[in-house]
Amino acid sequence: MKKLFLFVFILAIYAAHQDSWNWAKSAPMLFGFLPPGLAYQAAYSIACAAMMAVLVKVAWPKHLEEQADKPRQ
């Protein structure tokens, strides 16, 4: 269930990159100078960092460290 939730979560973030509703918009500008398309994509970058923070928190592959430290077979 957790895997499915994370998969849908990642897919939703990916889909949000294609912000077709902002394509031809030039107003309102954020802080008066940042066009909406650019402001959205900047916020999207922050959302990507947040997505990675969630993945690190709930899906970190900590078993890799233990496996890597085991002697070679």
Partner 1 sequence: MIPVIVILAYLALIAFIGGMAFKKSKENTEDFFLANRSIGPLIFFLSIFATNMTAFAILGSSGQAYRQGIGIYGLMASSSCFVIPLTIFFIGTRLWALGKKFGHQTQVSYFRDRWECNHIGTVIFALTAAMLVPYMIISIMGGGTVLANISASGPLHQPLIPYAWGCAVVAVVVTLNVFLGGMRGTVWVNILQTILFLCFGAVAVAVISHALPLGFSDYMSKLAADPKTRFLVTRERMPQVAFWSYTLIPLSSIMFPHMAIMCFSARHVSAFKQTVIAYPLAILAIWLPCVFLGVLGFATLGKIPDPDGVLVQMLQKYAPAWLAGVLGAGIISAVMGSDAHQVLALSTMFTKDIIVHYGGREKFGERRSVHFARIFIIFVTLIAYFVALSLKEKQGIFEIAVRYAFSGFAAMAPVMVAALFWKRSTKWGALAATLLVGGFLVWTALMQAGHEPGEVLWQIGEIKVFFMNPRGDVSFWNGFMTVVPMVIGSSVCVVLFSLLTRPPSPATIARYFDATASHASS
Give the binding site for partner 1 (CB under 8 A).
Answer: 10, 13-14, 17-20, 22-27, 29, 31-35, 37-38, 41-42, 44-46, 48-49, 51-53, 55-56, 60-70, 72-73
Kindly give, in sequence order, each residue whose CB lies less than 8 Å from that of residue 6, ignoring residues fewer than 6 positions away: 55, 58, 59
- β partners of residue 34: 30
Helix (H) or strand (E) holding 66: helix 63-69
In the complex, the smallest distance separating the C-beta of residue 4 from partner 1, rounded to whole angstroms, is 16
| C-alpha distances in Å from residue 2, one per residue of 5, 7, 8, 65 | 5, 9, 10, 22
In the complex, the smallest distance separating the C-beta of residue 40 from partner 1, rounded to whole angstroms, is 8
